[in-house]
Chains A and B, each alone.
Chain A
């Protein structure tokens, strides 16, 4: 089983990112579940979403305490939330950032999802859309395949800019 924990702020699309990831994994032929955990449901509050991917049916509903992968869509959350808590020894962190994380104990990857969203004009009500580009990054990491990411995005959204942004993140992420 592969366990992913996604950290974001309310309104940034972290929950949708989790659902897209589960849908993409599902289209890859895997079993997948995605679930959000809200504190108080409102714009700006820290939100956590959990995604589990496995070749067998998934019967776990509780929170992910030892993720294989932590995704941080808004690095300002790291001032208030210990996003690395429980990360497995050989786990990976994926940050929405143009820079790497100083002194990161785990495998640290970063990609500027915000920059990609702005460059692709993927902005709604003043907020850059991060949940579709991050799927491209996850495909580059091999968590899901790019064709399934594209299919999942098209199932949930009509705007092709989402697919382009995912493709851009796929290209930009350096493993």
Chain B
């Protein structure tokens, strides 16, 4: 961790829940980005975490914007900074709802136009700010307040949707591996054009586990292969270290599911469907790595 700067841009006294992945990640994102950065934040947990007028918990400018609009706002800002000759980092920091559901049109447009910005989606797999309702990013079988019986459909594959836009850089990360995230943000910001990082952000009140287990849950997600850490530079796949081991021998899915109250009473057939989804995804990555498609 010695390479990580000591300067803090996420100040004390945020309004985050204890054990919040998003705040943990934002701290490292901002350390990697440095002070010449603007955060664009649509409606999401971060809207609340930054605090209430007249205070702010961030030591960089934060532009709050409407729910559907983050990537479009970033697009306008980025083009404006270019006109002004400024190199300010434009970084969207958005939840999964504002990315994969209501925000997907703006994201797709910004990617397609080759916008010079970094879009970070921290994914707690539900609408966290409004109390954990399902989003397109909620996994199969997960209980939320609008899926009391468990979500009947699979998690939307945001990463492959982004990949289809051929961005110069995209990556996945997880709050349990902050150094990995820090490096990926630093790399992203060194590349011109649209960059995308998708962070798995375990959420204690939403996923229903004790607040001190956030890192443990994140590691289980990676070790079971449920969440794959990887990067694509100009489309070329590189699996990150912790996921290499998971691909060879994934930990039992039950370890991950059993640790979270949102999967309580999940039916065996749903677990089986989840397992098949994990296996198929890992196989797909393996085939790509092997050059077979």
Contact = CB atoms under 8 A, between A and B. Distances in A.
Interface string B185-218: 0000000000000000000110010110000000
A3 to B, nearest CB: 26
B17 interface: yes
Interface stretch (A23-31, A35-43, A136-144): A35-43
Interface in B53-81: none
A40 B15 CA distance: 8
Contacts of A40: 15, 48, 52
A138 to B, nearest CB: 27
User: Which of the listed residues A39, A42, A125 has the most CB atoms from chain B within 10 Å of its own CB?
Assistant: A42
Interface in A12-53: 39-45
Nearest to A11: B205
A39 B17 CA distance: 14
B131 interface: yes
> Main SS of chain A's interface residues?
loop
In the complex, which range does the number of interface residues on chain B fall in? 10 to 19
B17 A44 contact: yes
Contacts, number: 24
B202 to A, nearest CB: 15
B161 interface: no
In the complex, which range does the number of interface residues on chain A fall in? 10 to 19
A41 B17 contact: no
Contact of A43 (B205, B208, B261): B205
Contacts of B18: 43-44
B41 to A, nearest CB: 15
Contacts of A125: 208, 210, 261
A41 B210 contact: no
A125 B205 CA distance: 9
Nearest to B16: A42
A103 interface: no
Nearest to B20: A42
A36 to B, nearest CB: 13
A42 B48 contact: yes
Interface of A: 11, 39-45, 125-126
20 contacts: A11-B205, A39-B52, A40-B15, A40-B48, A41-B48, A41-B131, A42-B15, A42-B16, A42-B17, A42-B48, A42-B205, A43-B17, A43-B18, A43-B204, A43-B205, A44-B18, A125-B208, A125-B210, A125-B261, A126-B210
Given A11-B205, A125-B210, 5 more contacts: A40-B48, A42-B15, A43-B205, A44-B18, A45-B15
Sort A-B residue pairs by CB-CB distance and give the 7 closest, nearest first: A43-B17, A40-B15, A40-B48, A42-B17, A126-B210, A43-B205, A42-B15
